[in-house]
Amino acid sequence: MVKFCSIEEAISLINDGDTIWVNGFLSIATPDQLNRQITRNYRAVGHPRCLSVYASAGFAEWLDGSEIEGYITDGAVDRLVLGHYGSMTGTNKKIMDGELEAYNLPLGVMSHMVRAAANGSRSHFTKVGLGIFVDPEVGSAGLNEKSNAQLVRHTVLGSQEGLLYDVPEINVGLIKGSYADEDGNISFMDECCPVDALAIAQAVRSSRGKLIAQVAYVTEEKLPTGEIVIPGSLVDAIVVCPEQTQLTNIPKRWDCLCPRSSAYDGDVTQLKDEITSYITETSSRSDLHTVIAGRAYRELEDGQMVNIGIGTPEMVGRQVLAHGRLDKIHMCVEAGPIGGMPLSGKGFGGAICPDSIHDMPSQFDFFNGGGLDITLVGALEVDAKGNVNSHSVPGTLSGIGGFANVTQNTKKIVFCFTFNTGGIRGTVKDGKVNITSEGRVDKFVPQIKAVSFSAENALKNGQEVMYVTERCVFRLGKNGLILTEVAPGIDLQKDILDRLSIPVEVSDDLTVMEF
């Protein structure tokens, strides 16, 4: 029977040595109050401890000293396995200092791992991850010397080559919903997305564990059946947290982000501006980023299913909005929304006035099955063969996120990034690009630090791959990068070829880049 209880009572259900799966997608659907209370308990009495924590994505709030990740940084966690680390400031430092055993797996793989746990499986087989850093034949999912467990194995099942990921037995699930009725049924009607909540609840029941939920409200009337995501029969403890917000550390609530919103009605500009004033860091977006987004936008066609990645690719969504094509181009985000205007910055994962919202395992079923027509993603480094590092540079730790799933299974990939970084500046005047200051760090390099995207796999799969920068466009050919377009105002020799430390082929049909 469901127990409505205090947050202290709920967290007391967690035992030392438990394996916990935390729901959430960065700031979305994160059970922040439950995580804060684990930190407070650990700091007060030293328990729970020796925990293993899994989550498909990170779940903190981009703040130093955050209580949400405090129990991780303070030492209560022995092993951490996440799809994304970008929001977890303190945890990142602890990992990079070699003090915490931690692993990074593709976000979509982890979402399917927890669903596999729901049917009692102790492993999950998929081709996602082949040829990139998590493949034991290429690299390792471990993030430091302390992280040497073999969580992934390269294998062949039948005639299919793939990776076998270990699936843990889950003792505790932590989720956040919007409403609970007196029977313990939980609705997500004020949340941007349910993410992995149902799969976590089912996986915990399969392991005879405990599901702990935080909600904002309790209603005396039974929730409508169509609104119930988690049935009360799967819930062990519910904590009422009226102070919880839709987006972690962002106090305001917007109905346009959740299932209560109406479908796109042609007037989301005001809502978009209001939200991005809270959650988008626009200061780093220059004229050069606008050039990149403008060129990438030209690859979009009406009726396409389009995935927009974090960073510079987010600006392509603004191009879609500015050209009045939100009802013609269906932008999809890993967390679950299809349609509408994807959020930027710290709200990444949600969407304004989406046409529909799905749970994350189902969204990745769609992505893995080739449902996307095109994906626009960023890049940190690119080598001569066209391989890409999108997740690993010294001094920072972000994680692969959903990048591996979308780039391995989408028909067309458009990488969007500046030619170099660390101080690059430029202007656009009269349709011409002028680079006023070059960056200190090359992005086209002889050896990338980690493989996030395998060009060899893409060629085998027949994918179309483009690399769009502010000054030129490359395409992936059978022998590596082919320079196909140069922006107006850019000198081919001085601004491109002389600044490359890798060999590239220059197309015989070199054209002018339009943006």
Do residues 5 and 149 lie in contact, with contact meaning Cβ atoms separated by under 8 Å? no
Give CA torsion, residues 374, 301, 430, 281, to 10 deg: -50
**Helix or strand or coil: residue 229?**
strand
- Residues 238, 219: Cα–Cα separation, whole Å: 13
User: 472-480 contacts: CB < 8 A, separation 24 or more?
Assistant: 472/419, 472/496, 472/513, 473/295, 473/513, 474/386, 474/504, 476/386, 477/505, 479/505, 480/384, 480/385, 480/386, 480/455, 480/504, 480/505
Q: Which amino acid, 49?
A: R
> If residue 357 lies in a helix (H) or strand (E), which one and from where to where?
strand 356-357
Assess contact for 317 and 348: CB atoms under 8 A.
Answer: no
List active site positions. Answer: 334
Bridge partners of residue 472, in order along the sequence: 486
Strand partners, 219: 181
Contact assessment for residue 320 and residue 374, using Cβ atoms and an 8 Å cutoff: no
468 neighbors 505 (Cβ within 8 angstroms) = no
Which tokens belong to 201? Answer: 């609840």
Residues 284, 384, 319, 259: is their CA dihedral positive or negative?
Answer: negative
Cβ-based neighbours of 325, under 8 Å, separated by 6 or more: 300, 302
d(CA 30, CA 257): 15
Please tell me the distance from the alpha carbon of residue 153 to that of residue 161, in angstroms, as a whole number. 11
Burial class (CB in 10 A: 0-12, 13-18, 19+), 505: middle
488: which 2 tokens?
């107006």
One-letter amino acid of 305: M
Residues 163 and 105: their CA atoms lie apart, in Å, by: 12
Measured CA to CA, the distance from residue 286 to residue 297 in angstroms comes to 17
For residue 166, how many other CB atoms are within 10 A of its CB?
15
Alpha helices (runs of H) in 164-239, residue ranges in sequence order: 197-206
Contacts (Cβ under 8 Å, ≥6 apart) of 318: 293
Please give the sequence-ordered ranges of beta strands (E in DSSP) within 158-216, or none if there are none. Answer: 160-166, 172-176, 179-181, 186-187, 210-215
Element (H, E) at 278: helix 269-279
